[in-house]
Structure 1
Amino acid sequence: MSHPKSKIPADGLAGLKENLSTDAISGFIVFLLALPLSLGIAKASDFPPLMGLITAIIGGLVVSFFAGSRLTIKGPAAGLIVIVAGAVADFGGGETGWHLALGAMVVAGLIQILFGVFKLGKLADFFPLSAIHGMLAAIGLIIIAKQIPVLLDVNPAMTKGKGPIALLGSIPDFIAHLDPKATLIGTVSLVIMLGWPYIKNKYIKMVPAPLMVLIIAIPAELIMDFQHTEPAYALVHIGNLLENIKINVDFSGIAQTGVFIKYVIMFALVGTLESLLTVKAIDLLDPFKRKSNTNKDLIAVGIGNTLAAVLGGLPMISEVARSSSNVNNGAKTRWANFFHGFFILVFVLLASHLIELIPNTALAAMLITVGIKLAHPKEFIHTFKIGKEQLAIFLVTIFLTMYEDLLVGIGAGILLKMIIHAFNGTPLSSFFKAPTVVSFEGDTYLVEIDKAAIFSNFLGIKRKLEEIPSGFNVIIDLKKTKLVDHSVMESLHHFQHDYESNGGTVRIEGLDDHKPTSDHVFAARKKQSV
């Protein structure tokens, strides 16, 4: 339920004073969620675990002051594990690979700042939704593939040099060599993570699932005496924060020009896409219906990424799970993100020895849960319901991302989408520009779109829609189009929701002669020849 405009929380220092208790409590709960996840993401990315916490600290203490969104939490993202680990490996692996990967991350952070300066916050609207969801599902499957051997606590040498498909094929071998004690903790942790959403008791559910995992896993590890009976790779090792705060970036990786450019593009592109998608999602959850400034937020994330990479940290995004938790726990302003970073800093300074009691199998369980959410069967079913052609794009993106890499995967998804559009009669002249005429009469704006309305030309359409002042009647006429694709159908409905929430009305018409590709409300519409 939206709140009256008069009660919108203040920003800045006035917001801190007004909402101190609610934002501090939400920030503390998010800290409990972010601490183990940040460690696990860093370890899975082949970065020192401490560097995940450094990113979360910067995301809270620094980025909060520049952010264009009020309720998102900035920190390391599971969705970037695949790229970060790939960069470390391609730059030589180990500590050398880590230092050289940071160089590409610094440049990507600067590019993100430029994205915001040049107002490219609408970048997410260019990419077809099926390809984006396919990319995220592929990332989920890769996370699962990489974390199963960690969950079973097998010797890391068994996984060396294996891609995600090979890792999945090696599961029987991993099971044959599992460590019973560590696997027991990992399995119990996974059951807790997967089962927690089904618990009905509201008081129990107030405890974040990752915290419950630590409450059980750490005492179990102490009882089993992991420090003396298990190999070193069974436990987290982070070291001292103050000793590790230094300039860790190394730009000599630029000599490997092709590799360097590839990872700069992937860090900048995928990190930006994930951040923008999260900001859009959290705006829909904001009880006060505030609209984030996506360009300002990109600049903030870019600043955070540049600083984090210089110091050795992981890349950060506006992270969806932590941001959703932040909203659900009553956060009102950007100070909740600040407090989440503050509490992580205090914990690392005062209780880092407790972190080194965490079994890696428990962290693996948390990450596998993230992977399952990204690649859940319902994502496949949902995409199929929108249209068979959307499922084809989704599956091609997944397969080529897993077989090759993210750039190839999403590129293949975009190419297939364009081929399908050409097959459906989209004129080549309208692939990147849709003739759009806006006229005004009385209190009504008429938006007439010609030829085709598809993902690759929607930025121009959206720019004209956003120029319409709020509070009027808007008619979007699509009768002259030969095709309206799924991404545009969904984006038009989002525009309708946002515009009407500000007091205007929107009517989408002219689709009587168009046949939908499925029964889904967002299905693509193709005009039938007379």
Structure 2
Amino acid sequence: MFKYLKNDIPSSIVVFFVALPLCLGIALASDAPPLSGLISGIIGGIIVGLISKSRIGVSGPAAGLAAIVASAISSLGSFELFLSAVVLAGIIQIIFGIIKMGVIGYYFPDSVIKGMLTGIGIIIILKQIPHFFGYDLEAEGADSFFSKSGENTFSAILHIVDNITLGSMIIGFLGLFIILFWDNILSKKHAFFKVIQGSLIAVFVGTVIQVIFSTTKDFLIEGKHLVQVPIPDKVTDFVDFISFPDFSQIFSTEVLVIAFTLALVASLETLLSVEASDKLDPEKNITPTNRELFAQGIGNIASGLIGGLPITQVVVRSSANVQSNAKTKMSTILHGILLLVSVLSIPMLLNHIPKSVLAAILIIVGFKLAKPSLFKKMFSLGWTQFLPFIITVVVIVFTNLLYGIFAGLAIGFIVVLIKNYQNSVFLHKKEIQGSNVIEMTFAEEISFLNKASIKKELFDLPDNSTLELDITKTKYLDYDVVEILEDFIIQARNKNIFIHLKSERGIIDNPESFIEFFKLNKKSS
């Protein structure tokens, strides 16, 4: 963890600047106290970072949970009651880890995961464009197509022209220029420019210019266009800002349902983010998913106990971590420490940072996730890869992350069914020339997904033919397929089709019952 501090320290500072406004924005989008977002960011960085074995994953409050959190707080009528559900959700996540539910993440197709990353990238860009120009009607951490203000993503962009904050726009463009010039030109000139990130320089320059602009009338940037961290009179007053859970109704049906919903959705988002983050990792390390669920559970218990929002691993911060050249999880831990120290010691200084310069950083992050070349590559792989990919992207952009993932997964499942129908599941099928003999060999595993193609092959056999069916290598045959074979026996008699069944026990001519045969051979489910 201490071997690559020269990489991890600069990366942690970049992730800190990305996480700070997102933590505050997600809290606002969730109708929760602003400090609750920062608390969950600190817990996600330090506690989850220490327990998790993810090398570059960063955890904290997730925009994808904002709608669920806001609804839960409203239905319970108390933020303190909601915190008890967060604690309970953490316990459920620990159980998920113990019973090894982390394997679920491995069953999402690669095309859907890439679609998720691309969709998130596009959402980041679209959502940050208004902030870039100083139009901050929507909370920084929002990711839904429709906002509570009545705007949607595109209408907010169209309304920028009438709501430009000149100072914010200038700082936004300057920040974008600094980052691109630093990363694409200066970093290739000298090793120093690789150690210090262009994003850090952009934030520093943007903040200094904002202070200068504050002395002018034309370029003045109002407080609502700056980072807004709660400021106490003294450090000990932070305790007054913290909420603690109310466990008086923890076993009520409503709290239990909310806790289970939070645990399930947060776990799914975490597993998907783990898959995505591992794909972004240049060294392709594999994160132990069950350990990650356990770490997230501990994090949510801690967050709920001291007034924080639910935690998941988050793609935006994780991708910023990768792009900043982080090497170990020390970057994640340090970003959490920076959040804690800065909130306690320099909240007034943080409140001088313009949102537009942070938007510039996030726009770069979004572009790297949604490169045009990726669309071209996915298209070149054929429709079976491109269709789930593009459906995932479109649904994420126009609805939210979870809807997009499940839409892509549904399309991927349909593609599997189509390809199972089009492509024979047999290892071998041959029609012997000059005779009416057809040889078929079943694969090792035959499931209900193969029903359509098997039925098509069998029931299309010509009259007065001979079928030689080899199941020697078949280890598993679904009962649904066995029933199809049973039905085929009846049709075979009517069409005068003679059957040779080749198995480990030899050849059986015209079997009367496949069901009895497979029961004896223990090949059916």
Same fold, TM-score > 0.5, yes or no: yes
Q: Residue type of the partner of 1:233?
A: K
Cα distance in structure 2, aligned partners of 1:126 and 1:89: 30
Deviation at 1:373, TM superposition (A): 2.6
Closer, same or farther: CA 420–208 of 1 in aligned 2, 3 Å? same
Letter in 1 for 2:385: Q
**What secondary structure does 1:75 align onto?**
strand
Whole-angstrom CA distance in 1 between matches of 2:308 and 2:246: 10
Counterpart contact for 1:112–1:272, Cα < 8 Å? no
Q: CA deviation at 1:41?
A: 1.6
Q: Equivalent residues in 2 for 1:312-323 (5 A)?
A: 312-313=308-309, 315-317=311-313, 320-321=318-319, 323=321
Mapped pair 1:232 → 2:216: no
Task: Output aligned runs, 1:9-24, within 5 Å.
Answer: 20=2, 22=3, 24=5
In the alignment, which of 148, 167, 173 is matched to residue 129 of structure 2? 148
Q: 2:44 aligns with which of 42, 45, 59?
A: 59
* Cα separation, partners in 2 of 1:408 and 1:285, compared to 1, 3 Å: closer
Which aligned runs of 4 or more in structure 1 are off by greater than 4 angstroms?
23-27, 48-53, 88-93, 96-108, 157-160, 248-264, 279-283, 328-331, 334-337, 451-454, 478-481
Instruction: Quote the residue 2:504 is aligned against.
Output: none
Indicate the RMSD between aligned Cα atoms, in angstroms.
4.2
Q: Structure 1 residues 364 and 384 mapped into 2: Cα distance closer, same or farther (>3 Å)?
A: same
Q: Which residue of 1 aligns with 2:381?
A: 386
- 2:112 is the alignment partner of 1:131: yes
Q: After superposition, what is the alpha-carbon deviation per residue over 1:213-238, rounded to whole angstroms, capped at 9, x for unaligned?
A: 21111100000017994333111121
TM-aligned CA deviation for residue 117 of structure 1: 0.8
In the TM superposition, what is the alpha-carbon distance from 1:114 to its structure 2 partner? 2.3
Contact 2:27 2:36 in 1 (8 A): no
Structure 2: distance between partners of 1:266 and 1:172: 33
Structure 1 Cα separation of the partners of residues 96 and 268 of structure 2 = 10
Per-residue CA distance 1:28-59 (angstroms, 9 max, x = gap): 32331122111122234244665554334323
Q: What is the deviation of 1:98?
A: 7.5
How many residues end up aligned between the 2 structures?
410
Native 8 Å contact 1:109 1:305 kept in 2 = yes
Aligned residue identity for 2:311: P
Q: 1:258 to 1:343 in 2, by over 3 A?
A: closer
Secondary structure at the counterpart of residue 423 of structure 1: helix
Q: Unpaired segments of 5 or more residues in structure 1?
A: 1-18, 436-447, 455-477, 482-530
Deviation at 1:92, TM superposition (A): 7.3
Asked whether the equivalents of residues 153 and 361 of structure 1 are also in contact (C-alpha less than 8 Å), the reply is yes
Distance 1:426 1:97 in 2: 53
| 1:179 Cα deviation after fit | 1.0
Alignment of 1:249-264 (within 5 A): 255=254, 264=263
Alignment check: 8 A CA contact 2:88 2:259 kept: no
Cα distance in 1 for residues equivalent to 2:178 and 2:216: 24
1:281-309 CA-to-partner distances (Å, cap 9, x unmatched) read 549356xxxx6543223211221133224
Q: Any conservation in 1 of the 2:85–2:255 contact (CA below 8 Å)? A: no
Query: Per-residue CA shift, 1:76-116, capped at 9, x if unaligned?
Result: 37xx32x13433554578xx898787666545433432221
CA distance in 2, matches of 1:383, 1:87: 33
Query: Is the 1:190–1:366 Cα contact (8 Å) retained in structure 2?
Result: yes
Question: What is the distance in 2 between the residues matched to 1:329 and 1:145?
Answer: 26
Alignment partner for residue 297 of structure 2, among 281, 297, 302?
302
Partner residue of 2:163? 177
Relative to structure 1, the CA distance from residue 89 to residue 141 in structure 2 (aligned partners, 3 Å threshold; closer, same or farther) is: farther
**Counterparts of 1:34 and 1:377 in 2: how far apart (Å)?**
25
Cα 1:391–1:276 change in 2 (3 A) is: closer
CA distance in structure 2 between the aligned counterparts of 1:213 and 1:224, rounded to whole angstroms: 16
Q: Work out which of the two has the higher radius of gyration on C-alpha atoms and give 1 or 2.
A: 2
Q: Is the 8 A contact 1:108 1:268 kept in 2?
A: no
Does structure 2 retain, via aligned residues, the 8 Å contact 1:32–1:210? no
- Partners of 1:401 and 1:157 lie apart in 2 by 18
